Amino acid sequence: MTNKQKDDIYYVCCLIEFIARKTKNHRQDIIQYFTKKDLERQLRLAEVNHCLSFEQVSDELIEDFNIQDGMFDTVSECRYEVPSVTSIGMLYQELVLAIMKKEDAAQGIIDIFSSFITDEISDFNSNVYYTNPDYLRCSYLEGKMLV
């Protein structure tokens, strides 16, 4: 996998995180709006779209896919400093790269963002997003947070 492909995965993960925060949705809810083909397209467009603001790209996707507002507000409920979209995007990128098969990035993104792990990471009042990425990978593979 090239560095460009890894950067594209990072961008799409950040974009999903941004959209989820903006619309106050669970990350699992956001990923359901996109088909694998849609994500493959976003990965292809990432190199161009990263020159635009997340606000602009997310507004277009929210409108194009009719993404509705939810009530999962992880930012305002956070009692501590909220981790940046890019910090969380990097964590998701690491997870996608660790679990994807045959360089199928779109499916890896779907698999990670459809899992329980996203609500765990999105609880900014916990320390899950600061934990070792390998612990998160093992927890994801086990289907629950390991003790």
Enumerate the domain spans of the chain: 3-142
Neighbouring C-beta atoms of residue 70, cutoff 10 Å: 13
Choose among 98, 88, 108, 86: nearest CA to 138.
Answer: 98
Task: Assign 70 a pLDDT band (cuts: 50, 70, 90).
Answer: very high
- CA separation for the pair 13, 18 (Å, rounded): 9
Position 101 scores a pLDDT of: 86
Position 77 scores a pLDDT of: 85
102 versus 69: which is more confidently predicted?
A: 69
Position 13 scores a pLDDT of: 98
Question: Could you give the angle at the alpha carbon of 113 between the alpha carbons of 131 and 82, nearest 5°?
Answer: 50
**Would you give the end-to-end CA distance of the chain in angstroms?**
32
Q: What is the pLDDT of residues 17-55, one digit of tens each?
A: 999 999 999 999 999 999 999 999 999 999 999 999 999
Strands (E), the chain: none
Position 78 scores a pLDDT of: 87
Position 147 scores a pLDDT of: 84
- CA separation for the pair 43, 8 (Å, rounded): 5
The reported pTM is 0.95
